[in-house]
């Protein structure tokens, strides 16, 4: 079976929205509460992302989301490239991404992702997209 280029693009960078109850079922209440505590804010979207879009990168940008938490579900040793890079007053910062590590940033942080060359990267995201949320 041959995929269209658009279907391949979706397959290579696949995102699934989750309900809070689904994430609690996957992680357990205690782990979920720790994530919420680390995020320290309300959120309105939960995503699981699988990326295997080889020979692609993400230019430096700021997010539309007001705040983003990313939990690495696998580590740097499972793929090549695809490194998260932050820009700050000191220059470029590339955090080590071990499975279970978390990065949190707001929409003022300039960041990008290096050329992704091999493997598959998995992440869990909590996103705050609106200023006032109903929970």
Query: What are the structural domain ranges in the chain?
Result: 5-128
pLDDT attached to residue 8: 52
| Distance between CA atoms of residues 135 and 131, nearest Å | 13
Measure the CA–CA gap between 114 and 131, rounded to whole angstroms: 30
| Cα separation, 93 vs 129, whole angstroms | 25
Element (H, E) at 7: helix 5-12
The reported pLDDT for the residue numbered 109 is 95
Task: Give 33-84 pLDDT, tens digit per residue.
Answer: 999 999 999 999 999 999 998 999 999 999 999 999 999 999 999 999 999 9
The whole-number pLDDT of residue 130 equals: 85
CATH superfamily, domain 5-128, is: q2cbj1_9rhob like domain (2.60.120.620)
Q: Give the whole-number percent of the chain exceeding pLDDT 90.
A: 82
At 131, the pLDDT band (50, 70, 90 cuts) reads confident
Q: List b or e across 28-37, with b for residues whose CB sees 16 or more CB atoms inside 10 angstroms.
A: eeeebeebbe
């Amino acid at each position: 079976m041959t995929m269209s280029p658009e279907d391949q693009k979706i397959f290579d960078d696949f995102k699934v929205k989750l309900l809070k109850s689904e994430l609690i079922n996957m992680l357990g209440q205690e782990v979920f509460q720790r994530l919420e505590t680390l995020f320290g804010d309300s959120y309105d979207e939960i995503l699981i992302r699988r990326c295997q879009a080889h020979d692609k990168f993400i230019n430096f940008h700021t997010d539309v989301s007001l705040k983003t938490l990313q939990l690495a579900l696998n580590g740097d040793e499972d793929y090549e490239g695809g490194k998260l890079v932050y820009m700050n007053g000191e220059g470029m910062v590339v955090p080590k991404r071990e499975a279970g590590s978390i990065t949190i940033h707001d929409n003022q942080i300039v960041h990008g992702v290096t050329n992704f060359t091999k493997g598959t990267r998995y992440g869990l995201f909590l996103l705050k997209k609106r200023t006032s949320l109903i929970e």
